[in-house]
C-alpha cells in the first residue's frame, strides 16, 4: 500500500498510551491505533516523566526520548501525535512547526484561545504541515450516516435538542460543540446561563443555549464530573427523535406514530437502536491520516474545524464574564 510513515507520540498519558493495551478489543489510544496499521512505524514517545515513559515504551514495544530534539536528532519523523495536557497544545504545536514533518495528530482543544489558534493555523499553512484534530465522533461511520440523513431531510427540519457533559467547556464541551457543527450546522448565537469549575480552574463547564444559522436551538447542560461522567445528546426533528447515549456508543431512533389510545394524537415511538463503533474512532482517524498522506484524502477534522469549535467556546466564556 506504499511506504511506511514514522510516528512519534508526545505524551505518555492515558490517551497516548494507557487507556488500552496491544491485546484490547477497542482501540482507544494513539499508540494502539498507529501500531494496528502496518503502514506506520511507532518510533517511540517523548515524555518528561522517565518512569511513565519507560512503562509506555515497554507496553508498546518501542522506545522513548527525553526531548523533541533528541527524537529528531537521528530519526526521520513523518507524523507526530500530540497527547499532552491542554495548556501545552499551543506551545508544542508551535515548536513542531520548526521540524520537517508531514502531519500532526492533535488532541483537542487546538489551543487555549483564538489568538493562539490563529497563529498555529497561519504557521501550518505557511509550512504546508497538515493537522488532524481529534474530535473523535467525526471518525465514526454511523455518525457520518446520521449526518447524511439529517442533511438529506430524512428526519424533517431540526427543531431543538439538549445534551449533557462535564469537565470543562473547552476540554469536553468542545466535543459536543464540534459534533453539533458536524451534523446540524454552524452556530450563530450563544447564551450562557450557568457554569461550574468542576475540574479545571481556567476552563469552566458552561450551560448554554446554542442557536443555529439554519434554525433550531440546543441546550447544553454541564454536569459536574465529580458526580459522574456523562456525554449524551437528544435531537428533535419534525419526524424523528434521535438519542445518542452511553457516551456515544449507542443511538436510539424514535419515529412519529399515531397514538393507539388517543385519537388525533401522534407520539414518538422507539423504532430502532444502533450500537456505534466509537471504539474504532482512533483507528479510523489513523486510516484517514494514511489516506491523506498517501492519496490526498481530505482530513475529517481540520485546523479550521478546531478553530470553529474554539470560537464557540470563547463566546461562551465571554458570556459568563459578562454576567
Closest Cα partner for 132 from 65, 181, 185, 83? Answer: 83
Closest Cα partner for 311 from 143, 168, 169? Answer: 169
Rounded-to-integer distance, Cα 128 and Cα 103, Å: 9
- Helices 114-126 and 303-321, packing angle to 10 deg: 170
Rounded-to-integer distance, Cα 322 and Cα 305, Å: 26
Rounded-to-integer distance, Cα 75 and Cα 110, Å: 26
C-alpha cell at 270: 422507539
Q: Is the peptide bond before 109 cis (omega within 30 degrees of 0)?
A: yes
Cα angle 217-205-216, degrees, rounded to a multiple of 5: 5
Judge whether 170 and 293 are in contact, CB under 8 Å.
no
Kindly report the CATH number that applies to the domain delimited by 5-136+281-301: 3.40.50.720
pLDDT one digit per residue (tens) for the chain, 323 residues: 456 999 999 999 999 999 999 999 999 999 999 999 999 999 999 999 999 999 999 999 999 999 999 999 989 999 999 999 999 999 999 999 999 999 999 999 999 999 999 999 999 999 999 999 999 999 999 999 999 999 999 999 999 999 999 999 999 999 999 999 999 999 999 999 999 999 999 999 999 999 999 999 999 999 999 999 999 999 999 999 999 999 999 999 999 999 888 999 999 999 999 999 999 999 999 999 999 999 999 999 999 999 999 999 999 999 887 55
Q: Is the dihedral of CA 53, 54, 56, 62 positive or negative?
A: positive
Question: Domain residue spans in the chain?
Answer: 5-136+281-301, 138-276+311-321
Judge whether 4 and 260 are in contact, CB under 8 Å.
no
- Distances in Å between the Cα of 46 and the Cα atoms of 80, 83, 137, 191, 309 are 10, 10, 27, 41, 28
Cα angle 190-196-199, degrees, rounded to a multiple of 5: 115
Closest Cα partner for 106 from 125, 86, 78, 76? Answer: 86
Are the folds of 5-136+281-301 and 138-276+311-321 the same?
A: no
The C-alpha torsion from 195 through 196 and 201 to 202, rounded to 10°, is -20
Kindly report the CATH number that applies to the domain delimited by 138-276+311-321: 3.30.360.10
Amino acid at each position: 500500500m506504499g511506504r511506511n510513515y514514522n510516528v512519534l507520540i508526545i505524551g505518555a498519558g492515558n490517551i497516548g498510551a494507557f487507556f488500552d493495551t496491544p491485546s484490547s478489543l477497542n482501540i482507544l489510544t494513539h499508540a494502539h491505533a498507529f501500531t494496528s496499521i502496518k503502514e506506520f512505524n511507532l518510533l517511540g514517545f517523548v515524555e518528561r516523566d522517565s518512569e511513565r515513559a519507560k512503562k509506555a515504551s515497554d507496553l508498546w514495544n518501542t522506545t522513548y526520548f527525553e526531548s523533541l530534539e533528541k527524537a529528531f536528532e537521528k530519526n526521520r519523523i513523518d507524523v507526530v501525535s500530540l497527547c499532552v495536557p491542554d495548556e501545552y497544545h499551543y506551545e508544542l504545536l508551535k515548536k513542531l512547526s520548526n521540524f520537517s514533518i508531514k502531519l500532526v495528530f492533535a488532541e483537542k482543544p487546538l489551543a487555549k484561545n483564538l489568538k493562539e489558534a490563529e497563529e498555529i493555523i497561519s504557521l501550518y499553512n505557511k509550512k504546508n504541515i497538515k493537522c488532524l484534530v481529534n474530535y473523535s465522533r467525526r471518525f465514526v461511520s454511523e455518525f457520518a450516516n446520521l449526518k447524511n440523513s439529517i442533511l438529506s431531510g430524512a428526519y424533517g427540519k431540526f427543531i431543538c435538542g439538549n445534551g449533557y457533559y462535564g469537565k470543562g467547556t473547552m476540554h469536553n464541551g468542545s466535543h459536543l460543540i464540534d459534533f453539533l457543527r458536524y451534523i446540524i450546522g454552524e452556530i450563530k448565537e450563544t447564551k450562557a446561563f450557568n457554569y461550574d469549575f468542576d475540574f479545571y480552574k481556567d476552563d469552566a463547564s458552561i450551560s448554554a443555549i446554542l442557536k443555529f444559522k439554519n434554525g433550531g436551538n440546543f441546550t447544553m447542560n454541564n454536569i459536574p464530573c465529580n458526580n459522574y461522567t456523562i456525554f449524551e445528546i437528544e435531537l428533535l426533528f419534525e419526524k424523528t427523535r434521535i438519542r445518542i447515549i452511553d457516551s456515544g456508543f449507542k443511538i436510539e431512533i424514535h419515529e412519529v406514530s399515531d397514538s393507539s389510545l388517543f385519537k388525533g394524537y401522534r407520539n414518538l415511538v422507539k423504532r430502532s437502536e444502533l450500537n456505534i463503533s466509537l471504539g474504532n474512532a482512533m483507528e479510523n482517524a489513523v486510516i484517514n491520516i494514511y489516506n491523506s498522506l498517501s492519496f490526498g484524502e481530505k482530513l475529517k477534522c481540520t485546523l479550521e474545524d478546531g478553530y470553529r469549535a474554539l470560537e464557540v467556546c470563547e463566546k461562551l466564556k465571554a458570556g459568563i464574564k459578562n454576567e
